[in-house]
Chains A and B, each alone.
Chain A
Amino acid sequence: MCKGLVFALLLLVIVLPVPANGLTPEEGLARMQAGNDAYREGFFSDALEHYLAVYEAGFTSATLCYNIGNAYFKLNRIPESILFYERALILLPSDEDIQHNLELAQTRIIDKIASVPQLFFIRWWNQVRNAFGADGWANLSLILLSSFFIFLLIYLLSRKPLIKRLAFWPALISLLLFAHALAFAWQKSQVMQNRPYAIVFQPTVTAKSSPDAGSVDLFVIHEGTKVNIGDQIGDWVEIKIASGKRGWMQEKALERI
């Protein structure tokens, strides 16, 4: 009885359709296909229109964002293409095509901000963290939890000391990895929900020393540059660029990733 209830709940959650205004998932896929066809024919603005219709209906996927980025790139709208490549990368950080196109798009913008070099183990750590997106880590954490319990059962129920010993370490490692995966999933979800990164959309923006138009000009950034958003006061946000410099600018010049 208990199991039946769980399965019923599970089915409900899984089968529950993605609510989208105006488009069913099938229609979304059809529009997407139409966009792909238009892109192949070279009608990039038509392709973009199809893709954006799907995107604005509330559907997201790394593929969709990537294709939108490509269409924008072909129309020479680089800031938009960077924005969508970044969005695609949040969903699928390990994808090589997305990384390649993002890097290429970043060579077409004005600002070339050298990022602060990181220690090798921090770089490794970030690489590991970027192996999956938020959902990837969440799924992995669930798999790891399951494997922990399986090994725990083997450990608890086995009579043979050798098998007990063989099951103990995997169980422990699974538990540790589960904790890490959960932490990564949480971090990635925070990025997805709070959207702390943004792309500059105004051709030229002057970063100010305080949230006030009359304050001292600190530096100038141009469209297409990625910034990290910190505090927010009214229309003003504190931004941090890759080189570590901080300044204030108006939020309307930005588009959150």
Chain B
Amino acid sequence: MKDPHKILSGSNVWESAVLLGLVLAFWILPWPLWAQEFQVQAPRQVAAGQQFTLSFSINADGDQFRGPDFKGFSVLSGPNPSTRSNIQVDARGQMIRSITKTFTYHLLAGQEGSFTVGSASIKVNGQDIKTEPFEIKVVKGAAAASGGQGQASRPQGRSQGSDPGKISEEDVFIRAIVDKTEAYVGEQILITYRIYTRRQINLPNTLQHPSFNGFWTEDLLRDDKQYRQTEETYKGQRYVVVDYKKLALFPQKAGPIRIDPFEIEVAARIQSQRRSGDPFFDNFFGGSFFNTYQNVQVKLKSNALSLTIKPLPSAGQVAGFKGAVGQYSLSAEADRQELKTNEAATIRYTISGKGNLRLIQAPEISFPSDFEVFDPKISDRVSVQASGISGSRTFEYLTIARAPGTHQIPKVSFHFFDPEQKQYRSVSTDSIYFQVEKGEGDQILTQSGISQEDIRLLGSDIRYIKTTPPRFRKASSPLLFTNTFWIWLALPVILFVLVLVFWYRRMSFLQDQQAVRKHRATRMARKRLKSAAKLLGSGQKEAFYESITQALWGYLADKFNLSLSLLTMDRVSEALSERKVSDEDMTELKNIVESAEYARFAPPGSTQTEGDIYARALAIISKLENQLR
């Protein structure tokens, strides 16, 4: 590319013409005409059994990628598309956008031979672009030896286990050892990658580290780079063993989890075998004395592991449980318990034990509301040992007392799941009491009496359950219009009717009696008067007056339906005035009664009065009879 400014500096016409041309060219030239390259990146030669990657890339935004047939190879994964876009600003201020799309395959070479990979195609702006078919040679599988000479082949020579010139699978291998294959979420699993060898090997290189997805891991040999060698018998053979890696795994989710193999490379020392073709030399030096050694790189692959992670049981799970699994104890400590207002106290809660310590959250602590509390300082004292993680985690709270009095931090409980006992457990501390005295010169608003504090709401929660035993009822069956309801409804109606009937019956009976008595009144009075008339002139004065009085009183009692014992003159006059009996007659009645009573006890001899009283009684009765009808 030439700098346009240099060419165009001649004249203005030139300049504008070329500029126009450039602009036109920029717009007219369609983007796809810019060189599109659909390229293949693949090794020309691979070893049998080797994994390799093969990628197709295009520098345009294509779609509908169609991959080729991979005959003779097995596809481990792919096509895996990836896009890289790049925007550049050139000297003219134009933006140049470049896109590279790549489709990657991971392939495994199978048998030896040479195989043709067909063409891949992709569509760019409606146009199919293809790659050329190409050939990949698969040669005999071999691991590359260091030093350029000699090849240590792994799989062959199984029978000749201890051939000093070759490294077999039985000579050097790595195993993944796990202390349990079934664990709860959060339970510690120890995993050890142990190298077994019968050869001298040097420090291994890690080729592929399994990704412990779904686990929180802790390297237990982190600080211990000195690999300790021990001896171990495995499958009847003695080996020198080295724990290359030891991890504590804490599963974070339930389900079956597969842990991929761990791949390392070690340099093993083997006797060099000179293939000089000189049998004499070989035989002569074939003993142990003059052996020469060389290092051979050997790839080792551990076994894959499959673990079953069980979820924590829901039964017995308490509200304060926050995922701690293991065995723990809890202690609490305050640096001072007697303090003055606005002084600080430090309270430490220490959880110690064995388990996923680093994942432990602070237990719920309800500080007194008059304490100002700062966020806790969390410090761990974790000792990573070969047996796993143990230690303690301390939550250190700095608090400042703001009001005097006795304050209490109620007991704090820490809940965890004990995978050994397979149950939830709780540990708790005692309550901590603080004696806070009023500091000097402090003003405490709550005691001033002038400004009252509103009641502070410290939180909102639902009200507690009702504990009084309930009266159960059938679900969705209201009382209304049930038999019970109808009976209770009918009961007052029936009672009402019964009372009414009873009442009216009694009333009519009483009224009948009254009518009879009333009707009888005159008759009875006349009868009594008649018996009085018989006594008239017989000299039995007392009996005469008595029957007169009786006749009068009896008549009145019957008429007004009253009992004789209740009868007084006052009541009689009241009853008579109610019935509109004239005052004259009332006075007359009174006079007769009085004079009869009087005459009864008067000295004898006034028979004339007897006859007179008899006539007057008769007259008043018939008079009253007329008026009371």
Chain A contact residues, CB within 8 Å of chain B: 2-3, 6, 9-10, 13-14, 18-20, 25, 28-29, 32-33, 36, 39, 41-46, 54, 58-64, 66-67, 70-71, 73-74, 91, 97, 100-101, 104-105, 134-135, 137-139, 142, 145-146, 148-149, 152-153, 156-157, 182, 185-186, 188-189, 192-193, 195
Contact = CB atoms under 8 A, between A and B. Distances in A.
A192 B479 CA distance: 11
A58 to B, nearest CB: 6
A185 B500 contact: no
Contact of B473 (A2, A60, A101, A138): A60
A97 B463 contact: yes
Contact of A60 (B475, B493, B496): B475
A59 B473 CA distance: 6
Given A134-B480, A135-B478, A46 B316 contact: yes
B469 A32 contact: yes
Interface of B: 314-320, 460-485, 487-496, 498-500, 503
Nearest to B481: A189
Contact of A142 (B470, B489, B495): B489
A63 B474 contact: no
A66 B466 contact: yes
A29 B471 CA distance: 9
Contacts of B318: 41-43
A105 B480 contact: no
Residue of B481, B484, B499 ringed by the most chain A CB atoms within 10 A: B484
B470 A149 contact: no
14 contacts: A3-B494, A10-B491, A18-B473, A29-B469, A32-B469, A36-B465, A42-B319, A45-B317, A59-B475, A134-B479, A135-B473, A142-B489, A142-B492, A149-B496
A26 to B, nearest CB: 10
B460 A104 contact: yes
Given A134-B478, A186-B480, A63 B491 contact: no
A90 B320 CA distance: 32
A138 B491 CA distance: 15
A142 B488 contact: yes
Contacts of B463: 70, 97, 100-101
Contacts of B470: 29, 32, 61-64
A67 B462 CA distance: 11
Closest 4 CB pairs of A and B: A61-B470, A189-B478, A63-B470, A134-B478
A10 B481 contact: no
A66 B476 contact: no
A66 B319 contact: no
Contacts of B485: 138, 142
Given A6-B494, A134-B478, A138-B485, A63 B466 contact: yes
A123 B441 CA distance: 55
B474 A18 contact: yes
A10 to B, nearest CB: 5
